[in-house]
Structure 1
Amino acid sequence: MKTQVKALVVGGGAVGTSIAYHLAKAGWDDVMLLERDELTSGSTWHAAGLLPLFNMSFATTHIHKYSVDFYKSLEAETGLNAGFAVVGNLRMAQTQDRMDEFMLYASTAETCDVPYVWMTPDQIKAKWPLINTDDLKGALYHHTDGYINPADVTQAMAKGARQRGVEIVRKWQADAFHWNGTHWEVTCTKMVEKGGNLVPSEEQITITAEHVVTASGNHAQTTAKKLGIKIPAIPVEHQFIVMDQDPALVKFRAEGHVEHPVIRDADAQSYVREERGGWILGVYEKNAPAVFEYGVPDSFRADLFPLDLERIEDQYMAMIHRIPSCEDSGLKDDFNGPICYTPDGNPLVGPAPGLRNMWLAEGFSFGITAAGGTGYYLAQMMVHGEAEIDMASLDPKRYGNWMTTEFAARKNEECYDHVYILHHPDEERPACRPLRTSPAYDRQAARGAQFGFVNGWERPNYYAPAGFNDHDARSFRRGGWWQYAVEEAKAIREGVGLIDATAFTKHRITGPGATAFLDWFTTNKLPRVGRINLTYALTAHGTTRTEYTIVRNGENDYYLVSAGAWTAYDQDYLFKAIEDKEPTFGRINAQDVTTQWGVFAIAGPKSRDVLAAVIKDADPATALSNKRFPWLSAQKIELGMCPVNAIRVAYTGELGWELHHPIEMQNYLFDLLEKAGAPHGMKLVGARAQNWLRQEKSYRAFGNELGRDATPLEADLPRFVDLSKDFHGKEAMLAKGIRSKCVTLLIDGPADADPWGREALYDGDTRVGRLTSGGYSVAFGKSIGMGYVKPEMAAVGTQLQVKMLDQLWPAVIVEDSPYDPQNAVIRQDG
């Protein structure tokens, strides 16, 4: 057994073995996998083994597709049959809303080269007569996936890993992790059988590893404590039952018919597949409890919980309705085991927060489906420094230190019972809310705010009349909220609106080394004192890691504003870079001040008039003029009794200011602005209208147009890249060239729907790109979107089509910033 390795993988389930295999395949010849029990002894052994390609996440869809393709190749490489039954996956819809969901998903699938087929109820009945189709609208059929034997595929990957030089060690537990400055020292204990339990012995060794990956499954909470971090991966009970033979099914197969696909009845929260002449029923019911919130007991090994049939009675009856012939089949076996979840259902894959060379692969609710692709893309990140797709949506740092065990447990329960809930793009889930609120939350709620959930914060999405129900307003088309967002967008274009942007991430960087560091860390020229600049921090591969608005308050005093959804993600990268570069540039102080400052954005042609009524200045009439307060500058002003760091910039593209204020004075400032705005018809405005307005200005958004799969030059932002200076990632950025280009499109779409930013773009029958944002333009009276196309298709005036609701709709590429391209409106004087 080695005691010094390049990489140590902790966890011998499907995910861990895949990571070890792919690290070795990527060229690392000194990899060890450590398993505290036996391979597959965690959730892998009782997983149903389904391989669904269906997923709304761009990154996760790529992961699942890789897995499905990879598993088909394993037998040729290892000689072990992974038990892959390519029977397909039939996802049925009982309602038009469900079909709309499938159509939105299908366009996303096309962007990832995932094949699918539409089926009518009559086609389903003709092919699989045992299925009752009387109440179906249709179905989406993935003919290339199916199910696999979890133990077999894990053992096949383990054999492939061994063939590539990986050492796999069982019955050893990683008990402690210590970073010595260059390597991890992992204290490991030999585990022994005692009375049916697995207990630690007195035998210990220390393994030194340059990199460590944790793929600890149900033990994620124990892993988190050992590492001193938070990991919101907690298991939830998942039940499925195996039924005795169904004579009708036995007869159907005896007549030479092929095996049924995995049958997914989403509106009944269940899936069904064949199993030796009978059926397996798996469910995602309500009230399934989270378990092991504080760690897995030593007595729990390859064990299960008692079946709770009452909890799944509705799904059982729905199965009988869908496959009537199974009614007289008895119960053969049952499984109720822990399956790990995260609050949003996506796994946690990537660097651990605050730690060096520590990688997480935790929280897999569809672990068998994701195992192959996770190993592939995580190995790319570890070996090459970046994956070929943007993995930020799966990054463990998408949850900050505000996250608690209670939050994770309750949200994971919610996520479980939402597996088959309609996943509207405007979906907002209610569990654990409100949690993080700005002081003005109650005032906004009283005025009809319908809140969204952003990094734990409550942020107004839009404002509606009393009694309005946001849940009922959701749709895959233009929901009931759409009209209110239109009114809010018009208010900013024609009058004045007030937006709560408190959730923005805010950091203060000071010290003798601050200027030299930020000049190296970001792409644009640093602003002069009292001015601001938009800029980017790049990855080592030259792609966009973070977008910043930098306000320079003093010679070595900077205020950095970035996306509210990415606070911990941005902070981890920023703080690690400071730690690395401080010896070079000198002392640098970095402080997260996100919760110290509230932010109101006021915008619109009348915004100057509102502020002039409350600003305290010797000459209020000129205090906000271009001469005294020019565009892209920052000043400390007083609004009534509230000191404000005002920034003349507006994400909506109108005349406006961001008003950064002490959080404890927010309610005072809200009341002051509301009163001053009343004579001018000022409207409270939410994030959805703002999102539409920023697309009219072609303002890129991080996590949409900006990310680790494109450079700022590919995002068509050369004005924010100063090629005359050296900055981190510059050479890699230039070496990449322009592989694709970001464009803005106006779309003549359906009368009742707008794009959501997940749709495929076509030139005739050829797919040439995808949307990354979408919505409605009040300025042009039609749908709008932003996205990436092949460079040769990016010219203004190019006619393309957008795939929406399973149809192609005409779209045209327009000039950047189609609304006010000369920025005359935003620069207007007073």
Structure 2
Amino acid sequence: MKTQVRALVVGGGAVGTAIAYHLGRAGWDVMLLERDELTAGSTWHAAGLLPLFNMSYATSHIHDYSVRFYKTLEEETGLNPGFAVVGNLRMAQSRARMDEFELYAATAESVGIPFEWLSPDDIADRWPLLRTQDLQGALFHPTDGYINPADVTQAMARGARQHGVSIERRWQVDAYRWTGAHWIVTARRMVESGGNLVPSDEVVEIAAEHVVTATGNHAQRTARQLGLRLPAIPVEHQYIVTEPDPALVEWRRTHGEHPVLRDADARWYVREERGGWILGPYERGAPARFPYGVPDSFRADLFPLDLDRIEAEYLSMIHRIPSSETAGLKDDYNGPICYTPDGNPLLGPAPGLRNMWLAEGFSFGITAAGGAGHYLAQLMTAGEAEIDMASIDPRRFGPWMTTDYAIAKNEEAYAHVYVLHHPDEERPAARPLRTAPCYDRLKARGAQFGQVNGWERPNYFAPDGFNDAASRSFRRGTWWPHAVAEAKAVREGVGLIDATPFAKHVLEGPGATAFLDWFTTNRLPRTGRISLTYALGPAGTIRSEYTVIREAEDRYYLVSAGAWHAYDGDWLAQAVAEGISRFGAMQLRDVTTQYGVFALAGPRSRDVLRGLVRDAEPATALSNARFPWLSAQQIELGMVPVLAARVAYTGELGWELHHPIEMQNHLFDQLMDAGAAHDLRLVGARAQNWLRQEKSYRAFGSDLGRDATPQEAGLERFVDMDKAFFGKEAMLATAPRSRCVTLLTDGPDDADPWGREAILHDGKGVGRLTSGGWSPVFQQSIGIGYVRPDLAEPGTHLKIRMQRELWDAEVVADSPHDPKNARLRADG
């Protein structure tokens, strides 16, 4: 057994084995430790399905890679992974479900995943055992199917060994220790005793430059060992296997195997199994298990079946496949499958730790394993993956996350596998949790809340009795007119937005200026001024976005996206810690929860503030002469000290008002009173999203990420090429692969793009939207996206796929509304 390796992978399920394989293939010296036998965790009882269907662009790439990779394993290793390429038929009982499929298909088209549309008659012609009279149609993936989880894991293990990977079974990791240069991992030999695995006295210490944990249901044990909070907790998943169905047996005499069947509205999947059927439901009420760790006595064990819990799903299978009613039950499985609050895995760097990588929380581990290994290996060996992995990064959940929160959200995520995933979906479990002081005031005024990083944030405002859940749609929901009115209020009058969830840090000290100048792309502002800047990753692509307010010579107030608080904060904190020896002493403080933020914007915003500002000459306190655009000042609004920043994400005259959070309600009341004479309107995130697209303001996390350089994103004006900064050389070495553009679209009368749609030219895919919505100024659909560089010139005519139809779109110059920023600079 090796005691020194470059990378140690902990966990021998499908995910861990795939990671070891890909790291070995990249030429790294790798060892994998498994506490039991390979596949002894959730892998052994997984149904082995390979669904390509996923609303996430990154996860779609991961699943697509897995499906293609598994088809190559037998030729490479000589082991058949048991891949039955039978296809996947996803049926819809409602028009809304077909709308969901059409939105998903936009992602699939942009990734390059093949699919077909089938009518109920098409389905009945191909597979007459299915009842189709109550269906609207189906989406068919011809290239996927199901695989044997144990076989594919063993095939990857053989491939890993062929690439030099050492695989050691019956070794349990007991501790991790970082020396400052590498990890020391303490492992103990496990032995059989009375049917259980127990630790022996044999202990080894392994020195590893990098460690990857892929511990599946044991993620909570791993979290404790590393001093982390990880919301990866198993949920029960049960499936049943029937005896042979005579009608199916007869059908198979002359026909091929049925595809994997999914009736999303009935919440189940079904596939053939030795002449019978496997039914796997995603029912409501499935409980989370082992929230504090898997008992030592639990190995390849199962839970008792709860047939009452899945009765409705079982009856719906009989409805869809009438012949299955005569097939008795043969086997049942009820095992733990690890989940996370949003259903996506935790794949990437561990928060606060160097060279520690997590691959936990895989609820669809067989589907994702190959792609997870491929892209994580890219991230580890090259510094970045070819796709933006932020949506699956472990740091998307902050330290506020607790066990009870994870239990509630993981159970919800399981039950929501087949719930309609509206693009404006807001899930209710564990809410409200993080609330700004003004939450009750906003709610009383009709706020319909969404959540971002646990914070409650108004999406829009509606009258009493409005049902937010019933308003959701894949087209324009009943909330849409309210958001339109809010957007018009900002363009024509004045609006107030609660922006408290912004992430906020203070960086100060003798080394702060030199560090920040190296860490970010733009010139640093002078004292009292503001700049927008970007931090790049090692591949020269966009890692983080910051609004920088320079409060003093060596003191900076940094504002970044609230949704990415821990993701950005961890990156910044590690860079600061490593930069002290090079740049000098400095201190970073996270002040997010100390300050609330109101964004006041619109042509009348100065009039509202003028009535509140305490100044010797209030009439001129907010004029351009004393308070120019892109400047910040400490002012007093009534009794509240405020850091006022003259910026506006909406592209109108406006200020961000950063205030002590304990004074928020007083400030809110003062603003509402002062605004009454100016028709001040409360505004939510959806209207704000539309408004920022009219100004071509890119949103971090959708339009901006680690798969685009600043040049590709159209951010050259925020890059100072006369200075050195981290990632500059890699950025310059990257030839433009695409270009970010703004498009106006003549779309359908009842829908706007959501930011997932494929962009086409001459019938071929040339890019994808990353944002979408409605433009109140141009009275058209609007979107931001990436296209081939040669198609990025204003005036270029393209097509956007919406609801299976192609719609005309035109590339417009950036900032189509107020391109000279006259409204932002307006004096008064």
Aligned partner of 1:11 in structure 2 is 11
Q: How does 1:112-123 map to 2 (within 5 A)?
A: 112-123=111-122
Deviations 1:792-822 (Å, cap 9, x if unpaired)? 0000000001000001000000010000000
Aligned partner of 1:671 in structure 2 is 669
Q: Distance in 1 between matches of 2:768 and 2:269?
A: 31
Aligned partner of 2:78 in structure 1 is 79
Give the drift of 1:482. Answer: 0.4
Q: Distance in 2 between matches of 1:182 and 1:236?
A: 37
Aligned partner of 1:495 in structure 2 is 493
Aligned partner of 2:402 in structure 1 is 404
Number of aligned residues: 828
Give the drift of 1:764. Answer: 2.1
Give the drift of 1:287. Answer: 0.4
Q: Distance in 1 between matches of 2:814 and 2:62?
A: 33
Give the match's secondary structure for 1:190. Answer: strand
Whether the 8 Å contact between 2:77 and 2:159 is mirrored in structure 1 is yes
Give the match's secondary structure for 2:620. Answer: helix
Give the drift of 1:787. Answer: 0.3
Aligned partner of 1:131 in structure 2 is 130
Q: Distance in 2 between matches of 1:370 and 1:737?
A: 30
Q: Which amino acid aligns with 2:343?
A: G
Give the match's secondary structure for 2:615. Answer: coil
| Partner residue of 1:475 out of 473, 476, 479 | 473
Identity of aligned residues (%): 72
Q: Distance in 1 between matches of 2:764 and 2:368?
A: 29
Matched, 1:250 2:249: yes
| Partner residue of 2:638 out of 640, 645, 659 | 640
Aligned partner of 2:179 in structure 1 is 180
Q: Which amino acid aligns with 1:33?
A: L
Q: Which amino acid aligns with 1:266?
A: A
Give the match's secondary structure for 1:147. Answer: coil
Q: Which amino acid aligns with 1:475?
A: S
Give the drift of 1:581. Answer: 1.3
Deviations 1:379-413 (Å, cap 9, x if unpaired)? 00011111011011100000010000110111000
| Partner residue of 1:367 out of 351, 365, 371 | 365
Give the drift of 1:738. Answer: 1.8
Q: Distance in 1 between matches of 2:709 and 2:381?
A: 20
Give the drift of 1:7. Answer: 0.5
Give the match's secondary structure for 1:75. Answer: helix
Q: Distance in 2 between matches of 1:732 and 1:271?
A: 45
Q: Which amino acid aligns with 1:8?
A: L
Q: Which amino acid aligns with 1:515?
A: T
Give the drift of 1:195. Answer: 1.2
Give the match's secondary structure for 2:15. Answer: helix
Aligned partner of 1:273 in structure 2 is 271
Q: Distance in 2 between matches of 1:236 and 1:766?
A: 42
Say what the alpha-carbon RMSD is for the aligned residues. Answer: 0.5
Q: How does 1:130-279 map to 2 (within 5 A)?
A: 130-254=129-253, 256-279=254-277
Q: How does 1:378-527 map to 2 (within 5 A)?
A: 378-527=376-525
Give the drift of 1:576. Answer: 0.9
Deviations 1:689-712 (Å, cap 9, x if unpaired)? 000000000001101111000011
Give the match's secondary structure for 1:51. Answer: coil
Q: Distance in 2 between matches of 1:111 and 1:199?
A: 49
Q: Distance in 1 between matches of 2:805 and 2:229?
A: 44
Aligned partner of 1:49 in structure 2 is 48
Give the drift of 1:230. Answer: 1.0
Q: Which amino acid aligns with 2:298?
A: F
Aligned partner of 1:662 in structure 2 is 660
Give the drift of 1:277. Answer: 0.4
Q: Distance in 1 between matches of 2:21 and 2:224?
A: 27
Whether the 8 Å contact between 2:27 and 2:163 is mirrored in structure 1 is no
Matched, 1:603 2:601: yes
Aligned partner of 2:816 in structure 1 is 818
Q: Which amino acid aligns with 1:174?
A: V
Give the drift of 1:618. Answer: 1.1
Give the drift of 1:311. Answer: 0.2
Give the drift of 1:737. Answer: 2.9
Q: Which amino acid aligns with 2:245?
A: D
Aligned partner of 1:102 in structure 2 is 101
| Partner residue of 1:573 out of 563, 571, 574 | 571
Give the drift of 1:107. Answer: 0.8
Aligned partner of 2:795 in structure 1 is 797
Q: Distance in 1 between matches of 2:162 and 2:814?
A: 53
Q: Which amino acid aligns with 1:800?
A: L
Aligned partner of 1:550 in structure 2 is 548
Whether the 8 Å contact between 2:235 and 2:414 is mirrored in structure 1 is yes
Matched, 1:305 2:303: yes
Q: Where does structure 1 lack aligned partners over 5 or more consecutive residues?
A: none
Give the drift of 1:356. Answer: 0.5
Matched, 1:21 2:15: no
Aligned partner of 1:628 in structure 2 is 626
Q: Which amino acid aligns with 2:767?
A: G
Q: Which amino acid aligns with 2:121?
A: D
Q: Distance in 2 between matches of 1:708 and 1:494?
A: 36
Deviations 1:607-640 (Å, cap 9, x if unpaired)? 0000001111111111100000000000000000
Matched, 1:786 2:804: no
TM-score scaled by structure 2?
Answer: 1.00
Deviations 1:39-89 (Å, cap 9, x if unpaired)? 000000000000000000000000000000000000000000000000000
Q: Which amino acid aligns with 2:329?
A: L
Aligned partner of 2:766 in structure 1 is 768
| Partner residue of 2:722 out of 712, 721, 724 | 724
Q: Distance in 2 between matches of 1:50 and 1:777?
A: 41
Give the drift of 1:203. Answer: 1.1
Q: Which amino acid aligns with 2:78?
A: G
| Partner residue of 1:334 out of 329, 332, 335 | 332
Q: Distance in 1 between matches of 2:131 and 2:737?
A: 48
Q: How does 1:584-599 map to 2 (within 5 A)?
A: 584-599=582-597
Q: Which amino acid aligns with 1:299?
A: S
Q: Distance in 1 between matches of 2:147 and 2:716?
A: 48
